Amino acid sequence: MSPEGWFRVEEIAPGTFQITEGGRWKMFLFIGDKKALLVDGGMGIGNLRALCESLTALPLKHILTHTHWDHVGSAHLWDSVGVHPNGKDNLAKDYSEGCQNLVNNWGDGLPFPPDFVPGEYTIPPAVFGWEIKEGDTIDLGGRKLSVWDTPGHSPCSISLLDDKEGVLITGDLVKPLQPLYLQVPTAVLSDYGPSLRKLEQVAAENEVKWVCSGHTDAFPDASIIGEMAVFIEELEAGKHDPPRKMKGGRWGDIDVYQSTRFSVWINDNARK
């Protein structure tokens, strides 16, 4: 835990830190020989940049796997950030609805930091710096991260593979042991399967030791990606039994399909 108890830091591989905010949201710090890179910005409660700078003195860049509110929270602490071109216009978006939904429904989560005022919680605009898209390579010196476009959860979603330690960052596309969120307004079912197949191929061609997401602990079995791809393709083809219904969620009624190591939450919006 950090001194304020809000962040938990785990070194999941040499020079690779999983940072958990509030017990729920995951960010990832990669340290190379010459540069460091923070992937995703969480909710912006507590000073994430200061925490990262306590772990490395190297020049520190910041990129986002996608631009949902719970990934952009700390982006304003940098002069500029890297995002997929489909998401760059979202950096100045008003995220107040997500912020207030969080504080109003926090329940029995970790105590907020002492200086946090829930009623004043907001996410300031961030500044677009550069595009991150498929085919790009981020060189930190002694280790490189390759980038793939992986829409499905969001049209601006990317995934990254660290060539040195075999860490695959998937944003919210692959969430082992948790629901795959296709009920969110940006989700598109027809994009999800192809993105999973793409990452399945990445894993087959590389030694992936850890599959990481924005909400789950680092997962040691990359076979779950193909397992998800099959399930999503079968769901799209109508091969699964009628789902359990979840009524009256934030984005309307949700169909819940249960698999062995994950579930899928989806509504009609994603089936467009």
Three-state SS sequence of 139-162 = ECCCCEEEEEECCCCCCCCEEEEE
pLDDT, mean of residues 161-181:
97
Q: How far apart are CA 203 and CA 223, in angstroms?
A: 8
Give the model's pLDDT for residue 247: 87
Dig out the tokens for 231 from the structure: 């399930």
Interval 180-218: pLDDT, tens: 999 999 999 999 999 999 999 999 999 999 999 999 999
Closest Cα partner for 30 from 63, 7, 4, 6?
Answer: 63
49 DSSP assignment: H
Count CA within 13 A, CB hemisphere, residue 66. Answer: 24
Per-residue pLDDT, 251? 83
The answer to whether 96 and 122 have CB atoms below 8 angstroms apart is: yes
Per DSSP bridges, beta strands 244-249 and 252-258 are antiparallel
CB contact set of 211 (below 8 Å; sequence gap of 6+):
168, 170, 174, 176, 203, 218, 219, 220, 221, 222, 224, 225
User: How many CB atoms sit inside 10 A of residue 119's CB?
Assistant: 6
Question: Above 70 in pLDDT, residue 35?
Answer: yes
Q: Please write the tens of the pLDDT for every residue from 220-262.
A: 999 999 999 999 999 999 999 889 999 877 888 999 999 999 9
Q: What is the pTM of this model?
A: 0.96
Q: What ranges do the domains of the chain cover?
A: 7-178+208-220
pLDDT band at 91 (very low <50, low <70, confident <90, very high): very high
Q: Is a pLDDT exceeding 70 seen at residue 270? A: yes
At a CB cut-off of 8 Å and minimum separation 6, what does 104 contact? none
- At the fourth CATH level, the homologous superfamily of domain 7-178+208-220 is Ribonuclease Z/Hydroxyacylglutathione hydrolase-like (3.60.15.10)
Q: Contact at 8 Å (CB) between 2 and 46? A: yes
DSSP helix/strand/coil, 225 = helix
